[in-house]
């Protein structure tokens, strides 16, 4: 087959491909605009296949029709590599961009919720303020990187709690309040009973130590009264202090008086036994509550976060570190717990949403990003293949399929137009929507470029082809 025949054949193939790719592109724009995108797998397959074919056509023209001669097998291998890189490169990009395996389940759910919420809000705003339907179609199609970026920014625990979980749970908590309150009262009564057991044990555990300290103090008073007249106050007091220090390692203050210093004596000797007493109290708390508590909470175990969490889990509603309150009325109970993320409802709602609407989970990102990626690569292929077709037409019909110096300058001019025209038009796409412009500025630079180029190319394609295309969706 002659070089001239190949050139004519490529003009026909390029024209047919452009018609098909443009139909896919405009159909996808229309489907996104009117919420008609449901078959994500089909969009991903057709988009990747068509863009792979488009890049392969460009590669064939470059390798087979270029100035450098190449063998048939070499050309075939290069075209297969280009197709595979384009086809699988898009898949790898989508999978990597949306990889959320390292995130907690709640974070994935919340990101999905925020993507949908942000997307719905922006679409509603654009449709309400729509002036030109063609531009609005493009604006809506370009929202995906914006809303995914917003979802990542807002994906923190505070917003997760206030914006997502609480609105979902609060209504159910309110509607089932009598059931939860009845459980709370039973647990509250049990907690008070356990607390009374602990306080009684703590008093009983302290009694032997107090009795021992009291006996020691009675000896001190007896010795003081017995020898004070013979030795004098100062001398007998000093001797008693030394004996106390030798026996217990506790030193009394300079102003301490044997018969008037009962409190200081008791406090200091009890402090000596405190570590042993604390160990006994901690053992008892572990046996009663099943958790260990810090020393500072031994006298009031219900103020310990670990004990609070354990009791709240027994109430079977919350895993909260809020201060525990007992004997609340039903309204007080609701007010106290309404802003706490319920514990026992998480599993229920996670399972419920997974079974009923899996798009709210890990798949929701794909529903938004796959059409955008398909649009981006489709726009690139349309623009590049249009430039290539124009260059081929000029070369075949004006220069008899020969590369002259004049043609090369024309080819350079076509490249400049292709690169610059979309970027110039990009500035006007969101000119009437400053709020969305601010969201675009928050994107990484590469994403801003991809979004701007895709948007401006979309406006150009719609302006050139209008409604003259075969609708695929």
Alpha-carbon distance 236 to 243, whole Å?
11
Helices 133-141 and 105-128 sit at what angle, rounded to 10 degrees? 170
Highest mean pLDDT among 43-57, 104-118, 175-189: 43-57
pLDDT tens per residue, range 130-166 = 666 667 777 787 787 787 777 666 655 556 566 666 6
Whole-number average pLDDT of the chain? 76
pLDDT at residue 105 greater than cutoff 50: yes
Dihedral over alpha carbons 5, 8, 13, 14 (to 10 degrees) = 140
Per-residue pLDDT tens for 186-226? 777 777 777 777 778 777 777 888 888 888 888 888 888 88
- State yes or no: pLDDT of 318 exceeds 60: no
Average pLDDT over residues 117-137: 73
User: What pLDDT does residue 357 have?
Assistant: 47
pTM of structure: 0.58
Q: Using alpha carbons only, what angle is made at residue 136 by residues 133 and 139, rounded to the nearest 5 degrees?
A: 160
> Which of 254-268, 340-354, 418-432 tops mean pLDDT?
254-268
pLDDT at 358: 44
């Amino acid at each position: 087959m002659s070089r001239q025949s190949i050139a004519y054949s490529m003009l026909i193939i390029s024209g047919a491909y452009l018609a098909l790719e443009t139909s896919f592109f405009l159909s996808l724009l229309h489907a996104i605009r009117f919420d008609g995108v449901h078959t994500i797998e089909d969009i991903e397959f057709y988009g990747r296949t068509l863009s792979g074919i488009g890049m392969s056509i460009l590669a064939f023209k470059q390798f087979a029709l270029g100035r450098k001669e190449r063998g048939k097998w070499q050309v075939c291998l290069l075209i297969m590599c280009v197709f595979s890189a384009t086809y699988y490169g898009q898949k790898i990009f989508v999978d990597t961009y949306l990889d959320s395996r390292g995130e907690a389940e709640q974070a994935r759910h919340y990101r999905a919720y925020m993507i949908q919420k942000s997307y719905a809000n922006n679409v509603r705003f654009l449709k309400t303020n729509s002036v030109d339907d063609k531009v609005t179609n493009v604006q809506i199609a370009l929202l995906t990187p914006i809303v995914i970026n917003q979802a990542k920014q807002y994906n923190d625990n505070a917003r997760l709690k206030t914006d997502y979980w609480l609105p979902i749970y609060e209504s159910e908590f309110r509607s089932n309040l009598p059931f939860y309150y009845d459980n709370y009262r039973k647990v509250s009564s049990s907690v008070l009973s356990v607390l009374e057991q602990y306080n009684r044990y703590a008093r009983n555990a302290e009694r032997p130590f107090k009795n021992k300290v009291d006996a020691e103090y009675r000896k001190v008073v007896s010795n003081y009264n017995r020898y004070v007249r013979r030795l004098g106050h100062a001398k007998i007091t000093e001797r008693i202090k030394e004996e106390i220090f030798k026996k217990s390692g506790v030193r009394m203050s300079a102003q301490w008086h044997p018969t008037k210093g009962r409190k200081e004596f008791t406090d200091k000797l009890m402090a000596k036994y405190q570590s042993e007493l604390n160990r006994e109290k901690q053992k008892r708390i572990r046996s009663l509550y099943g958790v260990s508590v810090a020393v500072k909470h031994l006298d009031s175990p219900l103020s310990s976060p670990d004990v609070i969490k354990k009791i709240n889990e027994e109430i079977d509603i919350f895993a909260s570190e809020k201060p525990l309150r007992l004997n609340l009325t039903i309204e007080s109970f609701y007010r106290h717990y309404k802003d706490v993320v319920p514990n026992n409802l998480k599993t229920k709602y996670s399972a419920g949403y997974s079974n009923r609407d899996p798009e709210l989970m890990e798949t929701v990102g794909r529903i938004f990003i796959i059409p955008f990626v398909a649009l981006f690569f489709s726009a690139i292929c349309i623009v590049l293949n249009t430039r290539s077709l124009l260059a081929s037409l000029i070369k075949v019909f004006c220069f008899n399929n020969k590369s002259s110096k004049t043609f090369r300058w024309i080819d350079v001019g076509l490249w400049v137009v292709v690169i610059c025209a979309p970027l110039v038009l990009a500035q006007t796409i969101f000119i009437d929507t400053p709020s969305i412009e601010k969201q675009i500025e928050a994107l990484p630079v590469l994403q801003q470029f991809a979004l701007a180029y895709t948007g401006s190319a979309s406006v150009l394609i719609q302006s050139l082809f209008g409604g003259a295309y075969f609708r695929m969706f």
